[in-house]
């Protein structure tokens, strides 16, 4: 089995990687360096943010395993103290593969050019300046509303516990193939009105955000860029999924409890 690692940039994380490499030295596992080496498994060592970086570097081909060197995350199963157990399971067990849906995004420019992007957590749309974002929201071609406010988030199920949760979006189990549209500080008064609730859209439904501002900020997981002259952004559940190799049972709801209620 070919394994690649993606690390958070700190000394402790690098120590954990070295310890893991030492433990796997006498096994058939081979460590490789980058996407061109086509690893079977990518080990993310760090936090949930490190895992996001790993999936954008390696894509949907390999399966992912997370070791957390900070607090227990949503994408990481193993603590550094459990490396021996992990190494043992890696050699003996066939992992359960769980697949998490992604957000598929099509960004259409005013000149007609189209950019395809995707996110494991979410797409975030904000105005590039502090003034109001103005966006017409369409669902499956039907107008829903004109949104005015700070921004909009289109999250995946596994991203629903991240930024989406901070704006009171619902937590969606990753076995549900859906995307969620959530508002960031919408203006609701006598003149302007939005739905003011998060919307959960099933597979094959499409949310289209027609952009009125000349310059916007688009966030895709960790990446964020200022875009000029965007006409619209369309999001739907992606066809492909990100695969996680689960060598131990850790349910999504127990992660929710560990992260938000009791660690």
Question: Residues 165, 250: contact at Cβ < 8 Å?
Answer: no
Helix axes 83-92, 11-23, angle to 10 degrees: 40
Residue 161, interface with ligand NAP (CB under 6 A)? yes
Residue 80, interface with ligand NAP (CB under 6 A)? no
Residue 173, interface with ligand NAP (CB under 6 A)? no
Query: Which positions are catalytic?
Result: 48
Answer yes or no: is 22 a known binding residue. Answer: no
Residue 235: partners with Cβ closer than 8 Å, 6 or more residues away: 103, 104, 105, 106, 123, 154, 179, 181, 206, 207, 209
Alpha helices in 114-244 (DSSP H): 163-166
Q: Which of 31, 60, 70, 128 binds ligand NAP (CB under 6 A)?
A: 70
Nearer to ligand NAP by Cβ, of 71 and 248: the residue is 71
Answer yes or no: is 185 a known binding residue. Answer: yes
Q: Which does 62 bind (CB under 5 to 8 A by kind): Mn ion, ligand NAP, none?
A: none
Q: Which does 161 bind (CB under 5 to 8 A by kind): ligand NAP, Mn ion, none?
A: ligand NAP
Closest CA to 150 of 188, 200, 113: 188
By rule CB under 6 A, what count of residues binds ligand NAP?
17
Answer yes or no: is 37 a known binding residue. Answer: no
Answer yes or no: is 189 a known binding residue. Answer: no
Q: Which does 210 bind (CB under 5 to 8 A by kind): Mn ion, ligand NAP, none?
A: none
For 220-233, give the DSSP string.
ETTEEEEEESEEEE
Q: Which of residues 29-58 bind Mn ion (CB under 5 A)?
A: 47, 49
Residue 74, interface with ligand NAP (CB under 6 A)? yes
Q: Which stretch binds ligand NAP (CB under 6 A): 48-56, 109-117, 171-179, 205-213?
A: 48-56
Nearer to ligand NAP by Cβ, of 119 and 210: the residue is 119
Q: Which does 55 bind (CB under 5 to 8 A by kind): Mn ion, ligand NAP, none?
A: none
Closest CA to 154 of 108, 214, 201: 201
Residue 127, interface with ligand NAP (CB under 6 A)? no
Question: Residues 66, 98: contact at Cβ < 8 Å?
Answer: no
Q: Which residue minimizes CB distance to ligand NAP? A: 49
Within 13 Å and on the Cβ side, how many CA atoms surround 183? 22
**Residue 125: exposure state from Cβ atoms within 10 A (0-12, 13-18, ≥19):** buried
Residue 130: partners with Cβ closer than 8 Å, 6 or more residues away: none
Looking only at the bridges linking them, the beta strands covering 41-46 and 2-7 are parallel
Residues annotated in the binding site for NAD(+), as ranges? 48-49, 121-122, 148, 150, 185
State the residues that interact with Mn ion by CB under 5 A: 47, 49
Residues annotated in the binding site, as ranges? 48-49, 121-122, 148, 150, 185
State the residues that interact with ligand NAP by CB under 6 A: 47-49, 52, 70, 73-74, 121-122, 158-159, 161-163, 166, 221-222
């Amino acid at each position: 089995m070919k394994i690649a690692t993606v690390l958070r940039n700190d000394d402790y994380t690098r120590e954990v990687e070295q310890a893991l490499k030492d433990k796997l030295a006498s096994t058939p596992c081979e460590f490789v360096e980058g996407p061109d080496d086509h690893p079977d498994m990518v080990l993310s060592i760090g936090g949930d943010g490190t895992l996001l970086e790993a999936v954008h570097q390696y894509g949907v081909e390999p399966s992912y395993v997370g070791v957390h060197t900070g607090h227990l995350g949503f994408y990481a199963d193993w603590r550094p103290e459990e490396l021996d157990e992990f190494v043992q399971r890696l050699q003996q067990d066939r992992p359960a593969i769980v697949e998490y849906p992604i957000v598929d995004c099509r960004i259409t420019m005013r000149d007609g050019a189209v950019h395809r992007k995707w996110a494991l957590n979410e797409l975030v749309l904000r105005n590039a300046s502090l003034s109001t974002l103005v966006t017409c929201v369409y669902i499956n071609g039907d107008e829903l509303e004109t949104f005015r406010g700070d921004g909009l988030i289109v999250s995946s199920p596994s991203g629903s516990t991240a930024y989406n949760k901070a704006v009171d979006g619902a937590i969606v189990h990753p076995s549900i193939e859906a995307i969620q549209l959530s508002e960031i500080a919408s203006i609701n008064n006598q003149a302007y009105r939005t739905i003011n609730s998060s919307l959960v859209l099933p597979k094959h439904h499409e949310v289209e955000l027609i952009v009125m501002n000349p310059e916007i900020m688009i966030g895709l997981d960790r990446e964020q860029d200022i875009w000029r002259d965007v006409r619209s952004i369309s999001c739907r559940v992606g066809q492909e999924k990100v695969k996680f190799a689960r060598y131990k049972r850790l349910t999504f709801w127990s992660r929710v409890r560990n992260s938000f209620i009791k660690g």
